[in-house]
Structure 1
Amino acid sequence: MASNNQIKFSIAGRVATHLGRNLYSSNPPALAELVANSYDAYATRVDIKLSNREIYIIDNGKGMSLDEIEHKYAIIGIEKQIEESFNNLSERAPMGQKGIGKLAAFSLGGKYKVYTKTLSSKQWLTFELVYDDFIKDEITHSVDYNFVDDLPCELRDYAKYKSGFIVKIDDLIRNSRNAYENLSIQLSRRFYIASHIDKFQVFLNGEEVDLLTHEYYKNIEFLVYFGYNEEEINDMFPNIDKTKKVKYDTNSKDLKDYFEKNKGLKGWFGSVLTPGQLQTKDYNFNSTVVYINKKIADENIFKNSGSARMANQYLVGEVHADFLLDILQVPITSSRDGLDQSNEYVEEFIEILGKIRNKFAELWTNFRQKEAVLKLPDFIRENESYKKWLDGLSDDKREMNEKMLALLINKSFADQSEGIQKNEIQNIVSSIVRTVDNIEFSEIQKSLSSIDMIDKNYVKLINKLMSKIGRSEEINIFELVKERIAAINELKRMMEENNTLESFFNNHLHKHPWLINPHWNQDLNASTSFEITKNRYLKAIDKNNKLKKNYIDLLIKVAEEPYPIIVELKKNTPTGHANVTTGVMIDQIRKYKDAVMQSDSSLKMIDSRDIKVYFIISEDAGVNGANTIEFRKDDMEVFKSYNIEVIKYNMLIERAYRSYADFINIINKEKNIPNFT
């Protein structure tokens, strides 16, 4: 025993640097090592208290006597002895080895103070370790110790402990609160302890840390397990239907010997609906963790096993491999490095797990495809036209549909907001319908090219090809109609908002000129033949021989009309009203027609009355402050004589609905094409 109340610590080879500060690159693994020491000391409660200035790790375990401090704690690298059971607790397999966990405190701060007490002692033994003292070029370093009757005031809540071990860490390396975000989640990931069975609880700033289950457990929808019995796995995942929990056959030829030789190997691979369910702001649980004696030994055992399988994006796994501790004969720490994958036993272990993971990926793919339609929103899944379309699919097309749904729906839209999700899933499903419906095109064309003579089979293929082409055209027409219905709905929405500016109407009609006259391009098989300019300035010489600029809202050329069409918009605001008297309108249109005719030499000889004009006014247009407008019968006759059609926006909407409703009604009646509109 050291004289003068001193303890000699072994510091040779800069162990505090290599096995302390450099071994742990963040707080969670370092704290996990200190918690593991408390577990090995048969503590039933550990309190972790964090602030920007200091860290406390406090347990009610066996504590250590001065003799144990000198011959166990102060010597680094000796084989850790199994502690005798304490306080009638069941025997615990030790998490730590070689006594290196204590040095984890140096990866958190520059110094730490210890308070410890055993049942046989009435006083607390205390000493302080400083990192700078442990990196000297010496073999040992002596540290002063004292016995005290009471704990400091900040630890008075723990003075009642009959035994225990307290570590206070100062001069923190990471003194920002950001270093502690998600710490509870990460700590829970590093242990697999049932507090009610093991009688071991961890509290982080007063809140209990769940060391048995994780937040993502509730999101797992399919899993493959091994080593567990059915009752155990059902207790762990009561939320998953039994048909979605598959037991892997470890008695298969390639695994039987390995599992018989390495008793106790158990684990599971599970999948979630979306990768986002395995992520927090700062942490990703998308990995397979390996535990040894209930403490994490490797955060991601497959980190060096590259795989492009999509299943891995949705996968999480937990494996218990206590047998590796005796085989490897090396310290298992909570550092990020994990198990030594160059070791032949670890290589074999990863190979065995890889076979189970591959089987999981195969089963998961089949499960996901079968579930694809069931995962669709109700407004699609319960749609009568969609159900009829599904019923009519061949087995090959049904499989293709399920594969495409599984690939696109879950990955692209499950994390988006409800509004975006509904709209975009609808579009994706419609695209899948078109793709599946036309999947036979290439096969039919290939068959036709291989036929040398016209016979019954040739005629049958020709008829089938023509049917497919007709079907494709029908779908394309239907999709175009849906787009136009959406444009009508948008115009209606704009009208219902009184403060919509005229420029928005101008832009909308510029994009959808058929709203003005639904008969333009009514043949949906024809390509669009609009020429349209917006806010067109045209110069013209007036009757007084003066050059004037004329600002035309829309000027349209369309195949169905021989001459350009002038469109003038009047959209009133709640505080101002357009001047729409008959005289003003006639005079304004006359100037526009002159400008159009003077700008195009081919129009100079025509009668200006041949140029069609649409005067579109809002429902609240009026004269002298009135909120409605009603032209007299003789006014309408004058407009007609000038080839001017006066239309209110609500008339545009009603006329467009009537025109395109016929298409929708026909397709709805046939129910050959899924319609989600």
Structure 2
Amino acid sequence: MNSPNTIRQQDRPAEFPLKIQGGMLEALGINMYATIGKCLVEFVANAHDAEATRVDISIPFDAIEEARGKARETAKAQVEAGDRDPFTVLLTPLPEDLKITISDDGHGMSPEQIEERFLPVNRKRREDADGEETVLTSESGKRHVMGRKGLGKLAGFGAATKVVIETKREGQDFATVFTLDDAVIREAEDIGEVRIPAEYIEGRPIEQKGTTVTLYGLKSDAVRYAFETIAKQIRSAFFGIRADEMAIHINDTLIEQPDPDYVFVYPHGASEDDLADDEVQIGELATMPVRYMVGFRRQNLPTSQRGARIYCNKRLAAGPSLFGLPTGMHNFHSQSYMECIVQADELDRHGIDLINTNRSQLREDNEIVAALLEFVEERMRRALAAHAKWKEEVVDDEITKAPKARFAMQMTSTLEGPAKASARRLLRRLAIEHGADSREFEELAPLIVQTMNTGEVLIRLSHLETNVETIRQVALNLIELADIEKSDALKIYRGRRDAINALLALVRKGEHEFWKKKGIEKELHQLLKEEPWLIRPEFNRYLTSDERLTNVSTMLAEHLGVDTQAALDDPKRPDLVFLMSDTGQPHRIIVVELKSTSLPLKHEHLVQLKGYMAKIETYCRTELNRKVTVHGYLIGSMPDEKTVNDDERLLLHEIEKQGLNSEWSVMGTRSMLEYAQVANGHAIAAMEKDLADLDQDAESEADPENVAAIQQNDGAEAHDCRPVT
């Protein structure tokens, strides 16, 4: 029996072996490249660094969609039977006969390069023989390389369980084939002991070169995306790669950057093909050359696409992001239309790695990145200011060209004095923010004019040949009343600001709700029931709230003037119903369906809304003999563009296909909040300014000299007054 001292000596080795278990590769592959789009970006980057002139990607979208449906049904049955962990459904592999291939005509790899350069995990791609990162260009020196960390080879494991690579160098008469198998690597006690079998295909043409990566055992969730989504990811991941330099195809379709629909670009004269030159001052250390432009789209961008994208060596390094751009700045609303492109190649051409592995952000713990981000934020700030000034300059021309906006301005000619000026200011501001031909302008402009139209009273009095003194007294009373009403209106708008803040609190509560409860739906319903203008400015009084369709039909019949009718027999309850155009034809009925801000909207919710709409329209036509138009609003939390849920994806697909004249709209609570903030914020500011101007005018008129002048003018006007005919 060994003594205690002997045991202790045996348990004290002079060194320890470092083992990396196989699960490490799987974790890296899944965590960084969880979608097929991200996987493909890595393989395209590899092709670029191999000096390829063409990349061909083949994806059997229809077969994948069919197989995914079958796999999920099988997995669902297994989960319900208790035979499977529900979260593993995300990793369900599809049949082995389904595959995705990525082929390029780059230099390819020799067996030696495979062993020494490709297979070593985390090999520093840019290191020279002395361990310095000086190898910044591709094999012939004509391209600056994108790769650096040596992890892109793991990308395939994010979307597949098996990665087969066939590669060939020019000048060799054989191709090398090897397989990275997740099942083999995952079980390894030490990755360093794993042997990767190699095969060789003889008789290949000497001049042939390139690499083909084939993904097998596709993971159901990772390959759920359609062609356009994947193409968009690839377009966003690269900037400045021309098709004649390296053409990227998916199923023989060339992936090109579409011509951007910009209405304004900063700085003047810049474009995606000709970025503006500038430099970043990095403290007292140095300057870094950069190129950039800021463009404002005609249509607002999804939240995930707004702000700056920073590229290094033609590949995305960070963004899109607004970074630290302050939200309270003038014209911040226009960031919804803004994208900024920054080329900062020098950031990735030195011995320090400043780009995070996931390429969504930069390492911000240093002076270089801090200076770059400060530069980007400042340029976006300047662009927003220049954009605001430009909108001010062109708005009058836009109003003249837009028939409905021109008519709204003509309507203000019936107003008097400050009311006319106030109305015109509000209409111009509305056109500046939303566009003179926008739906927002069309809906809000008449409301602005109508609420200020006290001048019609004076015009009518003149038509009736009312004596001058009476008109003068009525006018003074109306002005006083207008001041009171404007002050009261300001109180109302400030009350609306409180409602907007309540909506903001609900949105934030839903976004941060960890367990995604449904209770917030009731809070949202109560808020919109009390403040329906948050949905659309013309929504003031609802017809019904959370009533059975039976009661909805009865109230519709009453408001449409139908005495006898058969009520709609249906217990379902739409959240809110509005009846618009009470005196016009055809009547417009609005159905609103609300969902919790803590749960993403789904296609089944849209189906539910459409069901309400169809039943109400059919009832009005068949039972009430009334022609109506029914429009629906589905309101809640918009699904993430990268959602894995099929029902959420189907809703996003429906929204994407939706035409301009669709009978339904899906409104995210975030978008509703932004709209309400802009529309009411400007009204508050305009009214506060008008009241301040009126107070100043009142002080001026109180001056004795001014009073005398007014009385003298009043007398002159009285002697020269004629009735208006």
Q: The TM-score by the shorter chain falls in which range?
A: 0.5 to 0.7
Q: Give the one of 165, 173, 198 matched to 1:114.
A: 165
Q: Is the Cα–Cα contact under 8 Å of residues 161 and 219 in structure 2 kept in the other structure?
A: yes
Could you report, residue by residue, the CA deviation over 1:78-136 in whole angstroms, capped at 9, with x for unpaired residues?
A: 221448766xx771000110221111111111111111101121111111111233332
Alignment of 1:213-612 (within 5 A): 213-214=257-258, 217-218=260-261, 220-225=262-267, 230=269, 233=271, 235=273, 261-275=286-300, 278-279=301-302, 284-302=304-322, 307=327, 309-326=332-349, 329-330=352-353, 332=355, 335=358, 337-376=360-399, 378-383=402-407, 385-386=410-411, 398-407=424-433, 414=438, 421=439, 425-434=441-450, 466=478, 508=560
Give the direction of change, closer, same or farther, for the CA distance of 1:392–1:270 in structure 2 (3 Å limit).
Answer: farther
C-alpha separation in 2, matches of 1:345 and 1:461: 70
- The residue that corresponds to 2:251 in the other structure is 205
Residue identity (%): 19
Give the direction of change, closer, same or farther, for the CA distance of 1:235–1:170 in structure 2 (3 Å limit).
Answer: closer
Q: Is the Cα–Cα contact under 8 Å of residues 193 and 200 in structure 1 kept in the other structure?
A: no
Q: Which amino acid aligns with 1:65?
A: S
Instruction: Report SS of the residue matched to 1:362.
Output: helix
C-alpha separation in 2, matches of 1:79 and 1:322: 19
- The residue that corresponds to 2:40 in the other structure is 31
- The residue that corresponds to 1:643 in the other structure is none
- The residue that corresponds to 1:76 in the other structure is 121
Q: Give the one of 134, 140, 143 matched to 2:196.
A: 143
C-alpha separation in 1, matches of 2:147 and 2:118: 13
Q: Is the Cα–Cα contact under 8 Å of residues 161 and 183 in structure 2 kept in the other structure?
A: yes
Q: Which amino acid aligns with 2:309?
A: V
Q: Is the Cα–Cα contact under 8 Å of residues 60 and 161 in structure 1 kept in the other structure?
A: no
Q: Is the Cα–Cα contact under 8 Å of residues 281 and 288 in structure 2 kept in the other structure?
A: no
Give the direction of change, closer, same or farther, for the CA distance of 1:61–1:104 in structure 2 (3 Å limit).
Answer: same
Task: State the shift of 1:349 in Å.
Answer: 2.0
Instruction: Report SS of the residue matched to 1:170.
Output: strand
Indicate the larger mover: 42-51 or 136-145. 136-145
Instruction: Report SS of the residue matched to 1:70.
Output: helix
Give the direction of change, closer, same or farther, for the CA distance of 1:471–1:196 in structure 2 (3 Å limit).
Answer: same
Give the direction of change, closer, same or farther, for the CA distance of 1:142–1:435 in structure 2 (3 Å limit).
Answer: same
Task: State the shift of 1:296 in Å.
Answer: 0.9
- The residue that corresponds to 2:590 in the other structure is none
Q: Give the one of 25, 30, 33 matched to 1:16.
A: 25
- RMSD over aligned Cα atoms: 4.4
- The residue that corresponds to 2:176 in the other structure is 125
Q: Is the Cα–Cα contact under 8 Å of residues 109 and 167 in structure 2 kept in the other structure?
A: yes
Q: Give the one of 98, 106, 109 matched to 2:149.
A: 98
The answer for unaligned runs of 5 or more in structure 2 is 1-18, 65-97, 127-134, 456-470, 486-554, 564-623, 626-723
Q: Which amino acid aligns with 2:318?
A: D
Could you report, residue by residue, the CA deviation over 1:478-525 in whole angstroms, capped at 9, with x for unpaired residues?
A: xxxxxxxxxxxxxxxxxxxxxxxxx999965689xxxxxxxxxxxxxx
For the pair 1:189 / 2:236, whether they are aligned, the reply is: yes
Q: Which amino acid aligns with 2:410?
A: S
Task: State the shift of 1:303 in Å.
Answer: 5.3
C-alpha separation in 2, matches of 1:389 and 1:365: 30
C-alpha separation in 2, matches of 1:427 and 1:39: 51
Task: State the shift of 1:300 in Å.
Answer: 2.2
Could you report, residue by residue, the CA deviation over 1:123-181 in whole angstroms, capped at 9, with x for unpaired residues?
A: 11111111233332314121111210379xxxxxxx89710011111111136863234
Q: Which amino acid aligns with 1:147?
A: Y
- The residue that corresponds to 2:511 in the other structure is none
Give the direction of change, closer, same or farther, for the CA distance of 1:438–1:160 in structure 2 (3 Å limit).
Answer: farther
C-alpha separation in 2, matches of 1:429 and 1:77: 61
C-alpha separation in 1, matches of 2:57 and 2:177: 19
- The residue that corresponds to 2:109 in the other structure is 64
Q: Is the Cα–Cα contact under 8 Å of residues 188 and 209 in structure 1 kept in the other structure?
A: yes
- The residue that corresponds to 2:57 in the other structure is 48
C-alpha separation in 1, matches of 2:393 and 2:444: 18
Give the direction of change, closer, same or farther, for the CA distance of 1:272–1:55 in structure 2 (3 Å limit).
Answer: same
Q: Give the one of 211, 214, 220 matched to 1:165.
A: 211
C-alpha separation in 1, matches of 2:191 and 2:159: 24
TM-score in terms of structure 2 length: 0.49
Q: Which amino acid aligns with 1:138?
A: D
C-alpha separation in 2, matches of 1:191 and 1:259: 32
Task: State the shift of 1:388 in Å.
Answer: 5.4
Q: Is the Cα–Cα contact under 8 Å of residues 123 and 150 in structure 1 kept in the other structure?
A: yes
C-alpha separation in 2, matches of 1:208 and 1:291: 22
Task: State the shift of 1:302 in Å.
Answer: 3.0
Q: Which amino acid aligns with 1:16?
A: L
Instruction: Report SS of the residue matched to 2:271.
Output: helix
C-alpha separation in 2, matches of 1:257 and 1:438: 60
Task: State the shift of 1:261 in Å.
Answer: 3.6
Task: State the shift of 1:316 in Å.
Answer: 1.5
C-alpha separation in 2, matches of 1:316 and 1:233: 12
Task: State the shift of 1:304 in Å.
Answer: 6.7
C-alpha separation in 1, matches of 2:345 and 2:23: 30
Q: Is the Cα–Cα contact under 8 Å of residues 290 and 301 in structure 1 kept in the other structure?
A: no
Q: Is the Cα–Cα contact under 8 Å of residues 56 and 250 in structure 2 kept in the other structure?
A: yes
Aligned length: 412
Give the direction of change, closer, same or farther, for the CA distance of 1:469–1:261 in structure 2 (3 Å limit).
Answer: same
C-alpha separation in 2, matches of 1:468 and 1:302: 46
Task: State the shift of 1:46 in Å.
Answer: 0.4
C-alpha separation in 2, matches of 1:361 and 1:468: 39
Give the direction of change, closer, same or farther, for the CA distance of 1:257–1:138 in structure 2 (3 Å limit).
Answer: closer
Give the direction of change, closer, same or farther, for the CA distance of 1:44–1:387 in structure 2 (3 Å limit).
Answer: farther
